[in-house]
Structure 1
Amino acid sequence: MDEPREVAIARGWLGTPYVHQASTRGAGADCLGLIRGIWREIHGAEPESPPPYSGDWAECGGVEVLWQAALRHLRPVPADAPLAAGQVLLFRMREGAIAKHLGLVSDAEGTRFIHAYTSHGVIESPLTRPWAGRIAARFRFP
């Protein structure tokens, strides 16, 4: 079975250094930048430009900014649907905190994901129980 286009695109970003607010394959990306880059390759121009944001942008406020943006542009996946390659994962890094990290399921079994992670760049990681427990929502590209 062929891997979904989103996964093939994300694999092309592996090894891209982590650069806050960046979205350039091979030069730099953060987790949002990776998802933005996948969007551009599939759809062309981005539907909106993210405003400047600090590294701790989600630590105060209480507004689910990233979740709201995902709802505007991606298709929600029901919580009871199985994990599947190509799904965008939205993570809540701490219980009760705003969801602020993104990744993409990279295998058919839902055991791995690709994301841009501080100090590591764009990597493929096992979707371990601690990571899976942080998933706040899942989406698909339109």
Structure 2
Amino acid sequence: MSGVEARVVAEARDWLGTPYRHQASRKGAGADCLGLIRGIWRALYGAEPEAVPPYSMDWSEPARDEVLWRAAGRHLRPKDREEATLGDVVLFRMRDGSVAKHLGVVTQTGSQAKFVHAYSGHGVVESSLTNAWRRRIVARFAFPEEI
């Protein structure tokens, strides 16, 4: 595991217990799934690479616009979806035919794979990356080694 991967996993786990708050990104106070990734970015690199405009919980679903996927591709390194590594950012499509609108960070790989994510109604939690979650993964990214 590289230094960046170890730092991403440690930082993601440091957010555990943070309450779920839509559009928030403050460790211990509140975060949504994007806010978690933004907070990890700030811990690793400082300032965020771009301002995040207000967004609805439906993530532009009515327009069928993959806003989150494009934003991840601008700042994170795209990877093969099957190339699982600790610290990966995984992007989920929650329902067939909908836009991808959920993010998490892989904290354990293999048969007991886990990921940290901010989940509505639960807060920032570490969950098993079950088959139900795995089949929803549409993209995988890595944090850059440096910016």
Q: TM-score, normalised by structure 1?
A: 0.94
Q: Tell me which residue corresponds to 1:15.
A: 17
User: Taking every aligned residue pair, what percent have the same amino acid on both sides?
Assistant: 62
1:42 partnered with 2:19: no
SS at match of 2:35: helix
Question: Matched residues in 2 for 1:135 and 1:80: separation?
Answer: 10
The aligned counterpart of 1:4 is 6
Task: Quote the Cα distance in structure 2 between the aligned partners of 1:39 and 1:69.
Answer: 13
Cα offset, 1:108, TM superposition: 3.7
Q: Which residue of the other structure, out of 64, 67, 78, is the alignment partner of 2:66?
A: 64
- Do 1:7 and 1:105's aligned partners in 2 also have CA atoms closer than 8 Å? yes
Q: Aligned partners of 2:78 and 2:61: how far apart in 1?
A: 24
Instruction: Give yes or no for contact 2:81–2:138 (8 Å, CA) kept in 1.
Output: no
1:87-109 residue CA offsets vs partner (Å, 9 max, x unmatched) = 00000000111000000000143
Could you tell me how far apart the structure 2 residues matched to 1:108 and 1:94 are?
24
1:137 alignment counterpart: 139
Contact 1:89–1:105 (8 Å) recurs in 2: yes
Taking the aligned partners of 1:79 and 1:102, their CA distance within structure 2 comes to 14
> What are the equivalent positions in structure 2 for 1:81-92 lying under 5 Å apart?
81=83, 83-92=84-93
Do the aligned partners of 1:91 and 1:135 also contact (CA within 8 Å) in 2?
A: yes
Kept after mapping to 2: 8 A contact 1:31/1:115: yes
Q: Is the 8 A contact 2:81 2:137 kept in 1?
A: no
Q: More helix by proportion, 1 or 2?
A: 2
Which residue pairs with 2:34 in the alignment?
A: 32
| Contact in 2 for aligned 1:6/1:86 (Cα 8 Å) | yes
- Structure 2: distance between partners of 1:80 and 1:134: 12
Q: Residue 65 of structure 1 aligns to which amino acid in structure 2? A: V
Report the equivalent of 2:98: 97
Cα RMSD between the aligned structures? 1.5
CA distance in 1, matches of 2:126, 2:97: 26
What are the ranges of 5 or more consecutive residues in structure 2 without an aligned counterpart?
none
Q: State the shift of 1:116 in Å.
A: 0.1
Distance 2:103 2:115 in 1: 10
2-structure distance, mates of 1:60, 1:75: 28
Letter in 1 for 2:92: F
